Every structure is written in C-alpha cells, then in structure tokens.
Amino acid sequence: MDKRIFLSSPHMGKYERKFIDEAFLSNWIAPLGPNVESFEQELSDYVGSGGGLALSSGTAAVHMAVKLLDVTKGNIVFCSSLTFVATCNPIIYEGAEPVFIDSEPGSLNMSPIALENAFKYYEELGKSPKAVIVVHLYGQSADMDPIMEICNRYNVPVIEDAAESLGATYKGVQTGTIGKYGIYSFNGNKIITTSGGGMLVSNNIDGLQKAKFWATQSRDNTRYYQHSELGYNYRMSNVVAGIGRGQLKVIEDRIKKKKEIYEFYKSSFIEIEDIEMATVRNYGEPNYWLSVIILSNDSKVKPIDIILALEEENIESRPVWKPMHLQPYFEEYRFFKHNEEDETSVSEDVFNRGVCLPSDTKMTIEEQEYVIEIIKDLFREI
C-alpha cells in the first residue's frame, strides 16, 4: 500500500479553520482567548459537567486532578494497571506511590474485585488511598457502579481518566462526569484532537478555579508577579482551542464511523475461532476508539505475527498497553490481581494476546477489507 493506514490519526472537519482564522484575525493567538472559554463551555455542555478547564495535555489534566485531591508524599493512590503511562506518572510527580489494580476480563477495565481486595489489604494496615484513578480503556467505560460503591464506602474520591473515551456513556451518563474529577485528552490519536491538549472537568467549580490558578503559574492577585504557591504552565492556547471547537462539532460522526469499523471487524472475524473481539458490555455505549482483538490461548498466530504482516503492507497496528505493574520504572509498586488464585493477571494476559487494529475514521471500507484479508490469510496459512 502506498498510503499508510493508521491506527487512529487526526481527522479534521469543516469548522476548525474558521475558528483558527478568527483567532488570527483578532490576534488572539495567545495567551488564552475566546476560543478557550468557548471550548470549555461547549465541551462541558456536551458531556454534562458543571465546568471544564482547557489544558496543554491530558497528562496535565490528570496532574491537576491529583493535586486537587491533595495527593502528596507518603500517600498511596490506586490506579488501573492496564493503561498508558500518563495515567500514573502524575502520582509520582507529587511524590506519592501508585498501587496498581488489575482488569476484569469483560471490559478490560478496573476489576471491582481487585479494587475491593486492595482496600481491604490497606485497611488492615490502617491505610487508605488518597484517590482512585479509573481508566476507561479503548473507548469503553469501566463498570462504574460497583467501583463508585466501593470508593464511596471507603470515602475515597475518584478521578476518571477518560482520555480515550470522550463521548462514551455508562448507563446513559458520559464517562468523565461520574467521579469527582474527569479528564480528556486531545492528543493526535484520540477520537477528537486539537493537535495536543486536554481538559479537566468537574462539578466542583472551586476546584477548577484552583487548578486554573496553578496552571497559569500560580500568580497571586497583585500588580507585580508574586507567587505564594508552586505553579505550572499548563493552559491551552487560543489557536489550539479553535481546533477543538471545530472537532467537537464532528464527534458524533467520528463515533458512528468508529462503531462501523468495530462492527465490520466483528462480523468478518466471526468465522475465525481464534479471534475474539474485546467485549462490549451492555451497561453503556462505547465510543469505539480502538478495535481490539484477543487471540485464543492456543492460537498458532500470535499478536506479533499480525502486527508484522500488517506493517509489511504499511498498515499500523499495535499490542495492547503493557500493564504498569510490568513496567521497569514501576516494578517496585504493589499490584492487586482480579483473581488471586490465577498465575497471570487479566491485564498481563490481555497484553500477551491482544492487538489494537487500525481504527482510523478516514479508512475506507476497501482499506478495511484489505486489513481483514491480511489477517485472515495468516490463519489460512497454518
């Protein structure tokens, strides 16, 4: 293939340029500006949160949420293990310790059983986490009812990392608006992108106000530059926010196309016993950000075979996230399995058997057919 097929690449609509032009014409290039406030308002309205704070990245948004919950040296924070490293790095930024929680086999998201076990373990030590960070992986919500029930019972606030799941719902409610704080990412590969950026959302307006203060270098309300607290340069620019406003107008189209991609893979692989699509649980509607297949334990074709065969044809695919508890940098931290009796954890098992397939909304039906044929061929050859 001459033209590369991507996992998930930026897909602009009709309006991004208009908002950027407005920024240029009014010379609102920086700092901040009207697009930023409008984007915050429009995104909050879309997800149904009390407010939003536009930031330079999803990671910055996680960092601000962690700081708002007073996470500090000596604290522990529970966090999904199967995720991208940006979920847990901010715990380290604040000098606290992550404790990793396994996935449940259905949604691949945080296991309520492992979560409960972690709470019990630390309760016996007289300790409690300062926060729990739940990830909504690959565009599907975690099972929030049992997770919230456990966290409420232990009186611990929840941060939702909805970086991958903007537009996905749990029992009719948008992911990112169920816990105390939610975060979204507009990185280049996400369902909508601003080229790079993030948003912190919450019903706690005072909290958002405080994060805004930190994110603009913690400038005191004085004529000269005075700082009584440590600050960060984390705000989104007015040009970037213009892209976000345009992208938000096409999010429903993007979700629709992502779902068609998922359904087409699903119907195409039905005849191949060794391929299973990652489960869509019936408690919500995903945004289908990435289509993930899980190969059976005794499949002769391995994830790497699929990845290399696709790469040969200039098609991008990738393994499932490597769990955080298996990362060299994080190996010293505790991990709680979904099933203590099992030798491997659910997250490690999915890492070994899963592949993220091209889920690019610019991909044509013919291109997707081509991807499917390459994969089917591998199973024919053996």
Ligand X SMILES: *Cc1c(COP(=O)(O)O)cnc(C)c1O
Site for ligand X, rule CB under 6 A: 57-59, 83-84, 86-87, 135, 161, 163-164, 185, 187, 198
Query: What is the radius of gyration, based on Cα positions, of the chain?
Result: 21
CB of 133 to ligand X, least distance (A): 9
Nearer to ligand X, 87 or 287 (CB): 87
CB of 86 to ligand X, least distance (A): 4
Nearer to ligand X, 59 or 202 (CB): 59
CB of 57 to ligand X, least distance (A): 3
- The Cα–Cα gap between 11 and 3 comes to 15
Nearer to ligand X, 57 or 175 (CB): 57
* Alpha carbon distance, N-terminus to C-terminus of the chain: 24
CB of 318 to ligand X, least distance (A): 12
Q: Which residue is nearest to ligand X (CB)?
A: 58
Amino acid identity at 338: H
CB 316 within 8 A of CB 358: yes
Nearer to ligand X, 44 or 299 (CB): 44
Nearer to ligand X, 59 or 81 (CB): 59
Nearer to ligand X, 71 or 86 (CB): 86
CB of 59 to ligand X, least distance (A): 3
CB of 293 to ligand X, least distance (A): 19
Q: Within 10 Å of residue 87's Cβ, how many Cβ atoms?
A: 26
CB 366 within 8 A of CB 130: no
CB of 289 to ligand X, least distance (A): 9
Across the chain, the runs of DSSP E, i.e. the strands, are: 51-55, 76-80, 97-101, 131-135, 158-161, 169-170, 173-174, 181-185, 198-202, 275-277, 284-285, 291-295, 318-319, 335-336, 354-357
Q: Within 10 Å of residue 48's Cβ, how many Cβ atoms?
A: 12
CA-based nearest residue to 88, from 375, 329, 261: 329
Task: Tell me the three state secondary structure of residue 89.
Answer: helix
Nearer to ligand X, 198 or 284 (CB): 198
Query: Could you tell me what percentage of the chain is helix, strand and coil, using 3-state DSSP and rounding each to the nearest 5?
Result: 40, 15, 45
